[in-house]
């Protein structure tokens, strides 16, 4: 198993990429700290992991709050004796996030606090735990929009993910000689209930799809597979990377609407 005897903490593990990653990492031998603000969803992930023969505990945390993040790290070490993989995956996309001209300041603050500050806090409190375990892998969920910008206005989300990418690079350089790797996982649009809700309008959905060379959105399982690679020792020389899993969006130049 590729993560035998490892402990992985995954934020936003109650659904989507986080849940699929929890199931996959557990299948590969890791003990999982399932972190989410939604207790019912998080406990459901724990139950799914257990049903598949894995080990997991649920930890409720708001990643934008330092006390919660510090506690989630401590709870993980208490439950499993260490930490080897930190997957800072929790994030939001607010439906009222739009153009820089009309996005409300409160939407900006909320998005930055969860998507960017949450990653900062995860690294701030998680790195000492990784060091206590002899090192490990940090995976920060950014996005393809951190590289190319979005086809549809979403200023707060795009800015937050650009920040995650820059933060990842700096931390990767700082801790490389202490056996810690840090990479930014940059998915394209992923088929999730949230995305379905945001793109309920067929015309809006088509405007997104036209920019994706395969003509479809990613599946959460496909992104989880990329996260698994970054978590394992197979990626031992992958550090500070912009790890794009976007179906070729950033490689394409598309003018059709």
**Residues with catalytic function:** 157
Cα gap 150→141, rounded to integer Å: 16
Tell me, letter by letter, the H, E, C secondary structure of 213-252. CCCCCECHHHHHHHHHHHHCHHHCCCCCCEEEECCCHHHC
For the chain, how many residues are written?
Answer: 257
Contact assessment for residue 171 and residue 120, using Cβ atoms and an 8 Å cutoff: no
Which structure tokens are listed for 38? 């939604």
Which structure tokens are listed for 130? 């990784």
Residues with Cβ within 8 Å of 35's Cβ and at least 6 positions away in sequence, in order, are 9, 10, 11, 12, 13, 42, 58, 59, 60, 61, 63, 72, 90
3-state SS assignment for residue 114: helix
How far CA 32 is from CA of 6, 39, 70, 87, in Å, comes to 9, 15, 17, 11
Which structure tokens are listed for 162? 């650009």
């Amino acid at each position: 198993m590729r993560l035998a005897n490892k402990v992985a903490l995954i934020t936003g593990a109650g659904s989507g990429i986080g849940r699929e990653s929890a199931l996959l990492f557990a299948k590969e031998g890791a003990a999982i700290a399932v972190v989410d603000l939604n207790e019912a969803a998080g406990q459901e992930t724990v139950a799914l992991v257990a049903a598949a023969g894995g080990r997991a505990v649920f930890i409720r945390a708001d990643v934008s709050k330092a006390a919660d993040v510090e506690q989630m790290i401590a709870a993980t070490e208490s439950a499993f004796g260490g930490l080897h993989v930190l997957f800072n995956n929790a994030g939001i996309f607010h439906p009222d996030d739009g153009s820089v001209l009309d996005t409300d300041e409160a939407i900006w603050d909320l998005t930055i606090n969860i998507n960017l500050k949450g990653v900062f806090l995860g690294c701030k409190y998680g790195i000492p735990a990784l060091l206590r375990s002899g090192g490990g892998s940090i995976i920060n969920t950014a996005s393809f929009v951190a590289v190319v910008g979005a086809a549809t206005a979403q200023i707060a989300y795009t800015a937050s993910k650009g920040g995650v990418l820059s933060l990842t690079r700096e931390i990767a350089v700082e801790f490389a000689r202490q056996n810690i790797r840090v990479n930014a996982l940059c998915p394209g649009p992923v088929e999730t209930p949230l995305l379905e809700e945001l793109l309920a309008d067929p015309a809006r959905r088509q405007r997104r799809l036209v920019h994706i060379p395969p003509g479809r959105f990613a599946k959460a399982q496909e992104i989880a597979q990329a996260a698994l690679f970054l978590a394992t020792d197979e990626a031992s020389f992958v550090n500070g990377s912009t790890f794009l899993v976007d179906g070729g969006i950033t490689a394409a130049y598309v003018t059709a609407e």
